[in-house]
Structure 1
Amino acid sequence: MEFGRLITAMVTPFDADGAIDWDATGRLIDYLIEEQQSDSLVVSGTTGESPTLTDAEKAALFKFVVERANGRSKIIAGTGSNDTAHSIHLTQVAEQCGVDGILLVVPYYNRPSQEGLYRHFKVIAEATKLPVMLYNVPSRTVVSMSVETTLRLAELPNIVATKECASTDQVTQLVAGAPEGFRVYSGDDSAALPVLSVGGYGLVSVASHVVGSELKRMITAYTNGNVVEAAQLHGKCHPILKGLFELPYAIPNPVLVKAALAIRGLPVGGVRLPLVDATAEETAALKQLLQ
């Protein structure tokens, strides 16, 4: 499965009552594909507020996004959780909805061992025909999947990629040890160029909601051998890549990217509790950053 170089982890638009806003979701899909040049979209990932979406909402989102994208981009469903049986259920629902692949996050809170991680991902992958992208994000899950466990999983036929948010050293080891065709994506916007430089394939991005076309140009420049141009584009985007998460203190994703979309004239509503919307002060600082 070719997911492309630039994948957007899409926010979930909500209306004033906190329900999914389907009109806004449709506009967002078109915008991300046509204007921000996303090759694939992740639906119901952390950026999509998956912890506060019901299973019924997730299924409806999967089906809606597949139909709206209509082949213009690949659709990757976030179906991972810290309950293996539940993840299998969501994965099979997503497959029935016609998605192109699934994203499976390292189980959070219950802190499984490396053997537990291996068995968790293995049985989910065996329960679907879809290609699987792993997702290692230690800052959210506490447990970090080791290089050895990831490479062990990479030998399974339909585990085809990983979204990596650990160190560049870990990415380097993954690239060096991975079987042919297994792809390593940066899960950290600001680390995209460093990850490419050590052999990573692309980026699963949040900032691509607002600077996707620039990030696509950066990736293309680098893969075409125009390293200086890629570095210049990276430097130009870097304040936004960092600012969407730190303004000047850490603000949980997707609070600021939703505020940024509203500033750009594409409102997608607020966030669900326990997250809270950006304050007036934070929004003003974000507006200045975007300008």
Structure 2
Amino acid sequence: MTLFTGSGVAIITPFTNSMEVNYPKLKELLEFHVENNTDAIVINGTTGESATMTDEESLDVIRFTVDVINNRIPVIAGTGSNDTRHALEFSIAATKLGVDGLLIVTPYYNKGNENGIYNHYKSIAEAVDCPIILYNVPSRTGVNLSIPLLKKLAEIDNIIAIKEASGNISYAAEIARVVPSLTIYSGNDDMVIPLLSLGARGVISVSANIIPKITHEMVISFLNSDINKGMRLQLDYNGLVNALFIETNPIPIKDAMNFLGYEVGPCRLPLGEMFEENKLTLHKILNEYGVEKWI
């Protein structure tokens, strides 16, 4: 089972200047992605600043997204936590709202052992009737999911995929070799084509917030055997991708969107304003790439 093929946007959460969720703007963004070939919406993830949102806010944002999208493309909700009970309850609640899948990050800070992490995912998977994407991002969690653990997790029926963001191509190749039943999605915008060459089916992308058509086209071109076009788009846009990670995500992508006229508001603390030098660099690169202004 594959939840989507192509580009899933790790969508930002727009805030007002008073730091409330800006629902009219979120609706505009969701419609923008449907119109511009995004293949799935990934809501309430890292890029969506889920760590700064209350459960009530997060569930309201998920509910709103499901309603607006209305089955036109898949909606996948981030429901991970470093507290298994909380992740389980939150995953059940999100599933009842009608999401198409769940993205569940490896428990962070606790640095659970393999038995603990296995039972964390197992208990959530058994509690929901919904496909689950594992999220491996050791730079944020302090834990890398081992290949033997992934093999064991893949035996659970509704654990179907992994968002792979370790940045380790050898590790990704081992997932493809040893655990072929797991669909792989790149979690790094600068490594999409390398992972597609190993059998991945797409990307969960930050840069798709501002270049949705290009991100979709890069993946679909490669998967449709236009390898040179896919590779060219990856290489041509890696300069922009790198600039979008000049500081901690999602600080640069939100700044970029505001510079381009999206008016998505600030990040919530502890994500602060970019250093002025980095901001100028990012804006210069956006201009050099000719990224379209928000209309």
Matched, 1:289 2:285: yes
Give the counterpart of 2:268 among 253, 265, 272: 272
Q: 2:27 is matched by which residue type in structure 1? A: G
| Aligned residue in 2 for 1:49 | 49
| Cα distance between partner residues in 1 of 2:118 and 2:226 | 38
| Aligned residue in 2 for 1:259 | 255
| Aligned residue in 2 for 1:11 | 12
Alpha-carbon spacing, 1:24–1:280, altered in 2? closer, same or farther (3 Å): farther
| Cα distance between partner residues in 2 of 1:32 and 1:173 | 33
| Cα distance between partner residues in 1 of 2:214 and 2:221 | 10
| Cα distance between partner residues in 2 of 1:41 and 1:197 | 23
Q: 1:160 is matched by which residue type in structure 2? A: I
CA RMSD of aligned residues (A): 1.2
| Cα distance between partner residues in 1 of 2:42 and 2:224 | 26
| Aligned residue in 1 for 2:193 | 193
| Cα distance between partner residues in 1 of 2:40 and 2:278 | 30
Q: TM-score, normalised on structure 2?
A: 0.94
Q: 2:191 is matched by which residue type in structure 1? A: A
Shift of 1:221: 1.6
Unaligned stretches of 5+ residues in structure 1: none
Percent identity among equivalent residues? 36
Large movers: runs of 4+ above 4 Å: none
Secondary structure of the 1:203 match is strand
| Cα distance between partner residues in 1 of 2:6 and 2:155 | 22
Secondary structure of the 2:163 match is strand
Q: Aligned pairs, how many?
A: 285
| Aligned residue in 2 for 1:109 | 109
| Cα distance between partner residues in 1 of 2:51 and 2:268 | 10
| Cα distance between partner residues in 1 of 2:180 and 2:234 | 29
Mapped contact 1:155–1:179 kept (Cα < 8 A): no
| Aligned residue in 2 for 1:172 | 173
| Cα distance between partner residues in 1 of 2:47 and 2:138 | 16
Query: 1:148-170 deviations in whole A, cap 9, x for unaligned?
Result: 11121111110010001121111
Secondary structure of the 2:134 match is strand
Shift of 1:280: 4.2
Secondary structure of the 1:68 match is helix
Q: 1:33 is matched by which residue type in structure 2? A: V
207-216 or 77-86: which moved more?
Answer: 207-216
1:1-291 to 2 correspondence within 5 Å? Answer: 1-35=2-36, 37-166=37-166, 167-180=168-181, 182-246=182-246, 251-291=247-287
Mapped contact 1:154–1:179 kept (Cα < 8 A): no
| Cα distance between partner residues in 2 of 1:230 and 1:39 | 16
Secondary structure of the 1:273 match is coil
Shift of 1:179: 4.5
| Cα distance between partner residues in 2 of 1:29 and 1:281 | 31
Secondary structure of the 1:76 match is strand
Mapped contact 2:13–2:48 kept (Cα < 8 A): yes
Unaligned stretches of 5+ residues in structure 2: 288-295
Shift of 1:283: 2.8
